């Protein structure tokens, strides 16, 4: 397949060839017939005007002659003669020396030349027109050396013959000149078109080549490559979109590497513990059942932890890829929050904590209840892991001015550093305050994936040393 550079060169060259072909068609091929048709039209029009002037006048008055002179023009000859004798009555000569019907004649004594109004050519032309019907305009050509004289004539009801004639300029010679000139112009235009096409195609395809090279770099794993195209057209917009895509790919690659590193670390720890305690149990002789039971419990706990991590990774993968889509139904989110809050109330009481619940009554929303409940469990579980010294959690529902309901989960723990807030919902991100705490690090990422799938706004506000408030908003159904 030819490159776009070659295609552009071919297009520009063909375009110039088509334009040259049109110029040749109009100025060479169609010039002579167009010129001929134009002269015939003018002669027939003048003959019709003369016919209208003298068709009812048997005598040539001064007014009639004035009218005939007014329709004559330079380069046109008007010949009026009797139909019965073919003798000239009046001529309005505008052709000059080259008139075939009224040539100049000289006497033997070289006196001043005079017009011969009844020449053989004129008589032949009048005879030809005499054979046509009255009022019908016919045309004929008088041949000559180098040029021809074109005639248009008619008969009047009152016995006159009108002939209007004009010399055909040497149009054939003009066409030959145009052919030679256009041949040279065409050659020059083709050369210029090739050069311009080569330059234009190179200029046009250069940014596309840069984009292609950058795409190959990204395909090889160099996600930091960028294209520098300073244009404001569609190619410039494409370059901006490409750079944005490269940035997102780079971020995704970094997150993927961090995710794999963190998951590998968290997987390694329970696997190491499971293997170590399993080997210990294998080596025990059964004389210490208490120690055996403790070690079995550790294996079970680490297995549960490993299973929870794998399940969280699989759940996040399904939500992020769109494999698990929300099934929207109408339900009372206030009632859901009360049920979840009641379940957590028992957990809080067993640890000496207190869950404070603030509601606004019935609020129906269109959402996936299973996924929204997952969000609530994750937010409450996250708050429980960061509870403050006062041991108080708050689950709050409020109305917004936009017709939505806002759900907030507040703890009075250590809070989140300002530098960590933009990344708190990222995959496997842990703030510096969470270092060493139990958890997969994917709970808030799952919350983000669910809320993004529902199109719900969400966020977090936090003050170090005072606690954090995680929130999201969901539109109420009408």
pLDDT of residue 435: 45
Is 215 contained in some domain?
no
Residues 14 and 159 in one domain: yes
Tokens describing residue 163: 């002939």
Answer yes or no: is pLDDT of 39 > 60. Answer: yes
Indicate whether 432 pLDDT > 50: no
307 and 374 together in one domain: no
Contact 368, 326 (CB under 8 A): yes
As a whole number of angstroms, the distance between CA 478 and CA 457 comes to 19
pLDDT at 59 over 70: no
Arithmetic mean of pLDDT, 351-373: 86
pTM: predicted TM-score of the whole model, two decimal places: 0.45
* Dihedral angle computed from the Cα positions of residues 265, 271, 273 and 279, in that order, rounded to the nearest 10 degrees: -150
Confidence at 431, pLDDT banded by 50, 70, 90: very low
Domain finish residue from 293, 321, 349: 321
Clarify whether residues 146 and 58 are in a common domain. yes
Q: Could you give the number of structural domains in the chain?
A: 3
DSSP secondary-structure letter at 134? B
Number of H helices, E strands in the chain: 10, 14
User: Which of 173, 200, 215 is the last residue in one of the domains?
Assistant: 173
User: Is residue 93 in some structural domain?
Assistant: yes
Do 255 and 341 have their domain in common? Answer: no
Please give the pLDDT value at position 466. 87
Tokens 């004539």, located at residue: 153
Q: How far apart are CA 400 and CA 402, in angstroms?
A: 5
What mean pLDDT comes out for the span 141-164?
82
With respect to residue 161, please indicate whether it lies within any of the assigned structural domains.
yes
Query: Where is mean pLDDT largest: 61-75, 225-239, 377-391?
Result: 377-391
> What does the pLDDT read at residue 341?
83
Residue 57's domain is classified under what CATH number?
3.30.450
360 and 282 within one domain: no
pLDDT over 50 at 1, yes or no:
no
Which CATH number do you get for residue 292?
A: 1.10.287.130
Claim to verify: residue 383 and residue 315 sit in the same structural domain: no
298, 353: one domain: no
- The number of angstroms, rounded, from the C-alpha of 334 to the middle of its chain's C-alpha atoms is 47
Name, of 143-152, 421-430, 461-470, the range with top average pLDDT.
461-470
Determine the pLDDT at residue 458: 92
Residue 262 pLDDT more than 70?
no
Among 115-124, 274-283, 356-365, the least confident range: 274-283
Banded model confidence at residue 275, pLDDT cuts 50, 70, 90: confident
Alpha-helical runs (H) found in 171-233: 171-219
Does the residue 313 lie in any domain? Answer: yes
Tens-place pLDDT, residues 372-410: 888 888 898 888 888 888 888 889 999 888 889 999 999
13, 154: one domain = yes
Average pLDDT of the chain, as a whole number: 79
Q: Out of 295, 321, 347, pick the residue that ends a domain.
A: 321
Residue 136 lies in a domain: yes
Greater confidence (301 vs 187) lies with 187
Give residue-wise pLDDT tens across range 441-459: 677 888 888 888 888 999 9
Domain membership of residue 386 as a residue range: 329-475
Residues 459 and 338 in one domain: yes
Query: Is 348 a member of any domain?
Result: yes
Quote the CA–CA distance of 267 and 441 in Å, as a whole number.
13
What is the enclosing helix (H) or strand (E) of 256? helix 234-283
Confidence of residue 433 (pLDDT cuts 50, 70, 90): very low
Of the segments 69-73, 154-158, 433-437, 442-446, which one has the largest average pLDDT value? 154-158
Q: Which of 363, 359, 330 is nearest to 342 (CA)?
A: 359
Using pLDDT thresholds of 50, 70 and 90, give the confidence band for residue 473: very high
Predicted pLDDT at 109: 52
Between 410 and 183, where is the model more confident? Answer: 410
Q: Could you tell me if 246 and 142 lie in one domain? A: no
Q: Which residue has the higher pLDDT, 393 or 292?
A: 393
299-349 pLDDT, tens digit each: 777 777 677 666 666 666 666 656 567 888 999 999 988 888 888 887 788
Residues 470 and 365 in one domain: yes
Angstrom distances, CA of residue 276 to CA of 295, 308, 351, 436: 10, 20, 31, 21
pLDDT in tens, 95-140: 877 788 888 876 555 556 778 888 888 888 888 888 888 778 777 7
Instruction: State the first-to-last Cα distance of the chain, in angstroms, to the nearest integer.
Output: 58
d(CA 407, CA 4): 56
Give the pLDDT confidence score for residue 192 in this predicted structure: 83
Question: Domain for residue 142, yes or no?
Answer: yes
pLDDT at 282 over 50: yes
Specify the pLDDT at position 142.
Answer: 78
Res 30 pLDDT > 80 = no
**Which of 74, 70, 165 is CA-nearest to residue 126?**
165
Token pair 């010039």: residue: 31
- d(CA 398, CA 360) in angstroms, rounded, equals 6
Helices (H), 1-61: 4-24, 31-54
Residue 32 lies in a domain: yes
The CATH number given to whatever domain includes residue 338 is 3.30.565.10
Q: Say if residue 123 is in the same domain as residue 259.
A: no
244 or 202, higher pLDDT: 244
């Amino acid at each position: 397949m030819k490159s776009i550079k070659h295609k552009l060169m071919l297009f520009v060259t063909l375009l110039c060839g088509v334009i040259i072909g049109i110029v040749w068609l109009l100025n060479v091929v169609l010039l002579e017939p167009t010129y001929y048709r134009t002269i015939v039209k003018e002669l027939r029009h003048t003959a019709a005007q003369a016919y209208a002037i003298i068709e009812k006048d048997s005598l040539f008055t001064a007014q009639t002659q004035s009218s005939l002179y007014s329709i004559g023009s330079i380069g046109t000859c008007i010949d009026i003669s009797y139909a019965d004798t073919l003798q000239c009555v009046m001529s309005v000569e505008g052709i000059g020396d080259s008139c075939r019907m009224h040539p100049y004649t000289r006497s033997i004594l070289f006196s001043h030349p005079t017009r011969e109004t009844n020449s053989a050519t004129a008589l032949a032309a009048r005879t030809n027109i005499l054979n046509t019907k009255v009022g019908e305009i016919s045309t004929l050509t008088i041949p000559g050396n180098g040029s021809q004289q074109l005639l248009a004539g008619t008969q009047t009801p009152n016995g006159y013959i009108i002939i209007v004639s004009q010399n055909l300029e040497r149009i054939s010679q003009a066409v030959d000149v145009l052919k030679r000139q256009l041949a040279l112009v065409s050659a020059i235009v083709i050369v210029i078109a090739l050069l311009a096409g080569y330059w234009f195609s190179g200029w046009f395809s250069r940014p596309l080549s840069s984009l292609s090279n950058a795409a190959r770099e990204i395909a090889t794993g160099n996600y930091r490559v960028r294209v520098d195209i300073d244009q404001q057209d569609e190619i410039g917009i494409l370059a901006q979109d490409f750079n944005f895509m490269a940035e997102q790919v780079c971020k995704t690659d970094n997150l993927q590497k961090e995710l794999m590193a963190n998951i590998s670390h968290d997987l390694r720890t329970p696997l190491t513990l499971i293997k170590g305690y399993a080997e210990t149990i294998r080596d025990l002789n059964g004389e210490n059942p208490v120690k055996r039971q403790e070690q079995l419990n550790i294996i079970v706990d680490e297995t549960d932890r490993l299973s929870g991590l794998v399940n969280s990774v699989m759940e996040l993968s399904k939500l992020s890829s769109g494999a698990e889509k929300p099934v929207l139904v109408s339900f009372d989110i206030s009632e859901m929050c009360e049920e979840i809050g009641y379940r957590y109330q028992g957990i809080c009481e067993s640890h000496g904590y207190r869950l404070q619940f603030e509601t606004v009554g019935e609020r129906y929303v269109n959402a996936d209840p299973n996924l929204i409940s997952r969000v609530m469990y994750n937010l409450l579980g996250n708050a429980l892991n960061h509870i403050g010294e006062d041991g108080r959690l708050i689950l709050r529902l409020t109305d917004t001015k936009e017709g939505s309901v806002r759900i907030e989960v507040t703890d009075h723990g250590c809070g989140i550093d300002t530098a960590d807030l933009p990344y708190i919902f990222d995959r496997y991100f842990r703030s510096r305050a969470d270092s060493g705490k139990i958890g997969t690090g994917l709970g808030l990422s799952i919350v983000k994936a669910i809320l993004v799938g529902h199109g719900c706004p969400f966020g977090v506000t936090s003050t170090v040393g005072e606690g954090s408030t995680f929130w999201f908003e969901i539109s109420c159904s009408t």
